[in-house]
Structure 1
Amino acid sequence: MEIHQLRTFAAVAREGSITRASELLFLSQPAVSAHIKAMEESLGLSLFERTPRGMVLTADGARLLVKVEETLRVHREFLEEAGRMKGRLTGRIRLGAARSTNAAILGRFLSLLSSRHPEVEVELHHGGSAEVLGGIRRGTVDAGIYVEAGTPDADLATIEVDRFAVYLAAPPGTVATGEPVEISALAERPWICPNSNTCCGKIAESLFETHGFRPKKTVSVEQERVTRTLIAGGVGLGLLHAPSAMEARDCGEADLICEVCDGVSVVFAHLIGRSNDPVVSAADAIMRDLAG
């Protein structure tokens, strides 16, 4: 039984999905499926039940998962100790990345981490900004990249790695854009709004408060790509990050009414209390180099 097969088994068990496990492990989906099949054939056991909801552990699989996680922990500790003995950084970093994170930033970070510290493993967790921040606080991720619409809390060490504006967008031809628009006059129209603890949710709440109104109808949506699709389909008004807003305008999917926020930060963050962790410290140094 190969250690990489055990890692694959644990990832599929955690995620309940071959697709998500392949993203975390940077493997193709056929490779992940092949690892699971090889394990099942070698052991003579069925480890997962394939269901419409995803991959569900069988009773045998659940019992073995405990041993697999223990084996992987011992393996990591072994490599970390060996790395300390020879003076090279080893270990694992669990990195949260908001879905709206610029792929180029994440790619440059992972490339530099791989070249400087080839023995450090990366476990990538995608989610919304609130999920990433929550993961940092709960300790389920070691560090993360997320969108910060306000001021980061004092217990976080943060590095701004990107910055963008946010625009109010409307279905094409539904709002006159040739002259300034009174935002409060749009209260009668449906608004597509994410949860108030998200970047655009906070900006929307601030916008409503500043202009003294609440939309008569709101549509709750968590993902920006869905917001953009609904705007293009004529469902209502919504907020879009600058790159998506410009693309939607150029494609004729939306009209941009106005810029509502000129500086939303994308930050790399970890708890200040983790600053002395060697792997977290190395990741922080790389991000500072990239932020320049």
Structure 2
Amino acid sequence: MDIRQLQYFVEVVNQKSFTKAAGTLHVSQPSISKMIKALEEELGIVLLDRTERKMELTDGGQLVYEHAVKMLQLIDSLSSSIGEIRGMERGRVKLGMMPTVGSFLLPNVIALFKKRYPGIDIEMKEYSAKLLEVQVEQGSIDAGLTVLPADTDQFTAVPLVAEELVAIAHRDHWLAERESVNLAELKEEAFILFTEEYAIHDVVKKACQLSGFEPKVAYMSSLWDFVGEMVATELGISLVPRSIVRRLNNSELVTVKISKPAIDWQYALIYRKDRYLSHAARAFIAFARQHLSP
């Protein structure tokens, strides 16, 4: 059984005539007769009673007609829906993002994207950078906003904007008198780090190690604002992206540039290499790359 058999059969019933059906379908009448005969043989029943120069549906024909109409409607609906997806008239994108960082980068991009593609829904969830990679790998989300480096064996990474990490300290700290500092000069300082599930934890530790020392960790937290508060109460110093400093908005804090080594904080969208990516997700990634290019 194929779709054309059902289409021809339904049209003959609707037109109540093989001749009229042939005209609307733009095929020959013998072709229609042959197709319906083949359908009857395949199903093992007579569909049309053609006696006395009249054509009527048999009981079996009525049943096949009702199901055929539904099937053809579903196929039309499927074709229409696929067309809408290809035309970006509908769809859904599931995004993961790092706390605070996502809210810094994505709102304007999402607003512009929704204006261009109002039929595409965007679902967002927050994860630490390491957990975000797990969610992308498992297929729970289409793409994730993270920081480089990423596992290039599993993921395709689309680089976005970058910013620098800076040191923050209390305004009475000796760093407050400096415009910049070599990271090696901080080897005796107490560090307030983010917990291990956050990418910045590894970035800061690696930068310190490259500068010849292991950071003395006084406290660790998973909350950006809490890290800022601990620095403001003189419990230690910390290294954070410059954009986060603006969000902390604490008059007790000073910001100092790291002169050596320069620690780049490169944002990227990642998605699995071996997984199907919807038209909507691909469109969003391309849109984000266009508006958040390095």
Same fold (TM over 0.5): yes
CA distance 1:158–1:214, change in 2 (3 Å): closer
SS at 1:284 equivalent: helix
Query: What letter corresponds to residue 201 of structure 2 in structure 1?
Result: G
Which structure has the greater CA radius of gyration?
2
| Pairwise CA distance, 1:267 | 1.0
SS at 1:254 equivalent: strand
Whether the 8 Å CA contact 1:245–1:256 is kept in 2: the answer is no
Whether the 8 Å CA contact 1:249–1:255 is kept in 2: the answer is no
| Pairwise CA distance, 1:185 | 5.6
| Pairwise CA distance, 1:219 | 0.8
Q: Deviations over 1:237-284 (max 9, x none)?
A: 111111233676983423526355342111122112235532222222
**1: CA distance between counterparts of 2:182 and 2:87?**
60
Question: Aligned pairs, how many?
Answer: 214
Q: Does residue 1:278 correspond to 2:276, yes or no?
A: no
Q: Deviations over 1:58-117 (max 9, x none)?
A: xxxxxxxxxxxxxxxxxxxx9976521555443322111211325464123322432333
**2: CA distance between counterparts of 1:132 and 1:286?**
21
**1: CA distance between counterparts of 2:207 and 2:104?**
30
**2: CA distance between counterparts of 1:289 and 1:125?**
22
Correspondences of 1:1-292 after superposition (within 5 Å): 82-85=80-83, 88-89=87-88, 90-101=90-101, 103=103, 105-148=105-148, 150=149, 153-176=152-175, 177-178=177-178, 183-184=183-184, 186-245=186-245, 251-256=251-256, 258-259=258-259, 261-274=262-275, 276-291=277-292
Output the TM-score relative to the length of structure 2.
0.61
Identity %: 14
| Pairwise CA distance, 1:190 | 2.2
SS at 1:227 equivalent: helix
CA RMSD, 1 decimal: 3.2
**2: CA distance between counterparts of 1:138 and 1:84?**
25
Query: What letter corresponds to residue 207 of structure 1 in structure 2?
Result: A
CA distance 1:115–1:273, change in 2 (3 Å): farther
CA distance 1:138–1:234, change in 2 (3 Å): same
CA distance 1:91–1:181, change in 2 (3 Å): closer
| Pairwise CA distance, 1:210 | 1.8
Output the TM-score relative to the length of structure 1.
0.62
Unaligned runs of 5+ in 1: 1-77
SS at 1:161 equivalent: strand
Unaligned runs of 5+ in 2: 1-75
